[in-house]
Chain A
Amino acid sequence: MNHSVNYLLRRLGFYFVAAWAALTLNFFIPRMMPGDPAAIIFARFRGKLKPEAMNALRETFGLTDEPLLGQYWSYLKSILQGDLGISIAYFPEPVTSIISSAFLWTIFLAGFSLIISFSLGTLLGTIIAWNRNGRLDSTLPPVLAFVGAFPYFWLAMVALYIFGFELSWFPLGHAYGNHVTPGFNIPFILSALYHAILPASTMIIVSLGGWMLSMRNIMITTLGTDYISFAHAKGLSSRLIMLRYAARNAILPNFTGFGMALGFVLSGALLTEIIFSYPGQGYLLLQAVRAQDFPLMQGLFMTITFAVLAANWIVDILILFFDPRTRT
């Protein structure tokens, strides 16, 4: 027991260091980019503003000439206080409010797709590994692998075009219909689900093959082990062996992967969001980069970084919980 706690604390410490390193990098990279945000926003209005506006702009954004190190310390301090600053591209909106709504939608869509993809994938992988001479084993992996080989945005665009535009089975984009009001009401929830079907399906189909295959491979290795033979010998039912013994052990290595993927969900399925007009974080990040909106970029990087680390740590805990071998 002590060892586990030690292990977790060590991991936590590790994550803190990694977080600090990532944050530092996040601080420096935007600043190494050429151009300054005031000039970009000014220039965005192809000649409609007058050249004399530059000073006013720079003043607005409070772009200081403070030495880099000074800016760095203020940056770290404000992160700890939860103050992510004011966005430049969406001035004067604070970064936290811009991120928060995008955050929720990304989690909903990508998290939802990931969970379904993982569950369905591991289930299929288990079944296939079990019935290895079945038709499923010879058809499903190659088919899913081929579908997953297409560039994601290609599939998404084709799907949107066929199912959304030509057949009108699904909406052409957005997170919910324009006739419902966001909130905890049934029409809104139903509408959100309906609008999520097409984007989520494209994400699921593309990643399904991966989860299924890794589960299948690990299952097969597991099925060759002694304790499974023993369970057979004891006369336990096949289904019981498949699910409670083999699958439960086989899923563990996959789980680590799931943890990492969960974290990255927040860097947003960027292409999904663009193609389906889905108001998530991925597209927000692209915009922030284009506008050289330092505060927004940093805020987004920060949430993604912390999410990845948190997801990893949670997975560490869960694995510790589920797999007694790690507790030794």
Chain B
Amino acid sequence: MDYIHNSIFTRWITGIIQNRKAVTGVGIIFVFIFLAVFGPFITQDPTAFLSRPLSPPSWEHWLGTNGQGQDVLAQTISGARQTLLVGFTTGIMVVLIGALIGGISGYYGGRIDDILSLLINVFLVMPGLPLMVILASWLPPGPGTLTGVLVLTGWAWNARVIRSQMMTFRNRDFVSAAIVSGERNIRIIIIEIMPRMLSLLASSFIGASIYAIGAQVGLEFLGLGDVSTITWGTNLYWASNDMALLTGSWWTFVPTGLSIAIVSFALTLINFGIDEVTNPRLISERVWRENIPRDKAVNGITPVVKDHE
């Protein structure tokens, strides 16, 4: 038994490591995390009202200054911290809650499934952005509020997906076999099924993180975050309030936007990679032509290469 799930896990990781997209994505993310953690120690003080406001990039300020004369580079790097922290924390919490509720609902079925499904559907149906706006405006602003609001409005989607997946696995032979041989339900869920759901859980985490970063930035742009803190969202809020585009001060607006895009894109790349590992058919033909002669089989599945015109 142990051989099998160790193998599933290691084989999955090996697949990921060998996937170019996933590796690139992870690499980019690590660069940003590194910058977020260590960057603020080497940049200028982002809160100091130093120089002339809205001055273009120069040797003194590599990315120029914003509307209050603060260094944009320092602001961009400092902003990464809270944005990424809230983003990934939300991602983890969403997956945990989703796995818990979706998993239990899908596995046990029956009454439990009915009740939990109802809960999931109700949360799915509630309009997310409006709810976020209400809660964010009512609660004291800050990363805690943001995380809470994002998790509350975002957990349901993943729960549903995990539930469907769980239901599919539930009916598979290996589960029936495990039940018949007397394994306890909890053990089955954790030891048998979860490892097989790694791709789904990982891509749920990534997807939730992407959502969290985007929604967080959106809320902060509307002014609902804590505007005294430095985050990517509040940077954009101030840039827009200072009429960044209309004064031609693109440097207050573009770096943060680009950073968000690169991070989200990197996460998406990782998701592409995970998809390809799970469903190797998704890898483009070119890659397969290179690999097949060397007889690389991933996950023990023989991919079918189809040629259409």
- Give A contacts to B, CB under 8 Å: 14, 17-19, 21-22, 25, 29-30, 32-34, 130-133, 137-138, 141-142, 145-146, 148-154, 157-158, 161, 165, 216-217, 220-221, 223-224, 238, 242, 260, 263-264, 266-268, 270-271, 282, 285-286, 289-290, 297, 300-301, 304-305, 308-309
Q: Which residues of B contact A270 (CB under 8 A)?
A: 129-130, 133
Interface flags for B133-151 (1: CB within 8 Å of A; 0: not) read 1100110000000000000
Q: What number of A-B contacts does a CB cutoff of 8 Å give? A: 142
- Nearest-neighbour CB distance to chain B for A88, whole angstroms, equals 15
Residue of A nearest to B309 (CB): A238
Taken residue by residue from 263 to 291, chain B's Cβ proximity to chain A (1 for < 8 Å, 0 otherwise) reads as 11100110010010001011011100000
Which of the listed residues A34, A130, A270 has the most CB atoms from chain B within 10 Å of its own CB?
A270
- CB-contacts of B78-129 with A (<8 A): 118, 121-122, 124-129
- Which chain B residues border A142 with CB–CB below 8 Å? 269
Question: Is B122 touching A131 in the complex (CB atoms < 8 A)?
Answer: no
Binding site for A on B (CB under 8 A): 118, 121-122, 124-131, 133-134, 137-138, 210, 214, 217-218, 221-222, 236, 240, 245-246, 253, 257, 260-265, 268-269, 272, 275, 279, 281-282, 284-286, 304, 306, 308-309
Given known A-B contacts A220-B279, A238-B309, A267-B127, A18 and B260 have beta carbons under 8 A apart: no
- How far is A157 from B243 in the complex, measured between Cα atoms in Å? 11
Decide if B260 touches A150 in the complex (CB within 8 Å). yes
Contacts of A223 in B (CB 8 A): 281, 306, 308
- Complex: how many Å from CA A146 to CA B266? 9
**A154, B308: Cβ atoms closer than 8 Å:** no
Q: In the complex, what's the smallest C-beta–C-beta distance from A112 to chain B, in angstroms?
A: 19
Known: A221-B281, A224-B281. A151 touches B236 (CB 8 A): yes
* B284 x A22 contact (CB < 8 A): no
Q: Nearest 8 A-B pairs (CB), nearest first? A: A267-B127, A149-B264, A133-B285, A149-B265, A154-B257, A150-B261, A149-B261, A161-B245
Residues of A within 8 A of B221 (CB): 151, 153, 271
Cβ B268 vs Cβ A220 within 8 A: no
Q: Quick check: A131 and B262 within 8 Å, CB to CB?
A: no
Known A149-B268, A220-B279, A285-B133; judge A264-B308 contact (CB<8 A).
Answer: no
B304 near A271: Cβ-Cβ < 8 Å: no
Complex contact A149–B245 (CB within 8 A): no
For this complex, 27 residue pairs linking A to B, each with C-beta atoms less than 8 Å apart, are A14-B118, A17-B118, A19-B125, A22-B126, A131-B308, A131-B309, A133-B286, A138-B284, A141-B272, A145-B272, A149-B261, A149-B262, A149-B264, A151-B217, A151-B218, A151-B261, A161-B245, A217-B279, A220-B282, A224-B281, A282-B129, A285-B133, A286-B222, A300-B130, A304-B127, A308-B125, A308-B127
Give Cα A130 to B221, complex, Å. Answer: 41
State in angstroms the CA–CA spacing of A177 and B67 once bound together.
Answer: 34
Residues of A within 8 Å of B126, CB to CB, are: 22, 25, 305
Q: Interface residues of A: mostly helix, strand, loop or mixed?
A: helix
Most chain B CB within 10 A, of A131, A137, A153, A308, is at A153
Given contacts A137-B284, A150-B261, A152-B214, 15 further A-B contacts (CB under 8 A): A33-B138, A131-B309, A132-B284, A142-B269, A149-B210, A151-B260, A158-B257, A224-B306, A260-B124, A267-B129, A271-B221, A282-B129, A285-B130, A286-B222, A304-B127
**Inter-subunit contact B281/A304 (CB<8 Å):** no
State the CA gap A120–B253 with chains docked (Å): 30
Do A217 and B282 have beta carbons less than 8 Å apart? yes
- Pairwise interchain contact B284-A221, C-beta atoms closer than 8 A: no
Considering the complex, give the chain A residue whose CB is closest to the CB of B131.
A29
Chain A residues in 8 Å Cβ range of B263: 149
